[in-house]
Structure 1
């Protein structure tokens, strides 16, 4: 059952690798509290719940990604959010002992987060089964 690597760790590593391929950002980081020049991407929580079958261990994971940007308009943040959506949707189907069954966009929104600051939140559901 995903020997040695948890589903959350495998999905986090896979998503992080995909996010590092997103162009137009000054970096990709994990967690909050990053002081970086905008625009940048933050990989937030990866929350796991059981999604097992009779004969296979499985997990459903919620993946939260935030794009932080500055500017007069939310347009660039929205474009970067679309790039994040595509990156996560392209997650490899084999992840360190786990097989990806599905990747579904749950929500994508861009909100003002201060004067001239924007946050695009992109949330996915990833379902995996142990290989």
Structure 2
């Protein structure tokens, strides 16, 4: 996720707000379908996870799993050297070291993303789409 311009990352972060359709649609229509799919996956869409896998965005599918605290997904990210995504998942899950790392490295846009995902998840009462492992 380090290769995306800040503007794109901020648009991605906005897809987790209550009225997010315009940002989601913008990502889809402007060459960032993988980020739209990741947003949908994080919001509970198995179809989006399947799309990520089919289009070889395995690291983004694993990020979705790691955000949901799936140990196998986190292990896959570590094994394939996606440590940045592990930190992002940890920041979403309020790991103080991960949050501090993003701040210390002036990667504040990822703190915004983590907060938006966390806020979205906190608004959910129960997400039966997600499988726990």
- TM interval, short-chain normalised: under 0.3
Greater percentage in strand: 1
The TM-score normalised by the length of structure 1 is 0.26
* Higher relative contact order (Cα pairs below 8 Å, separated by 6+ residues): 1
Larger radius of gyration: 1
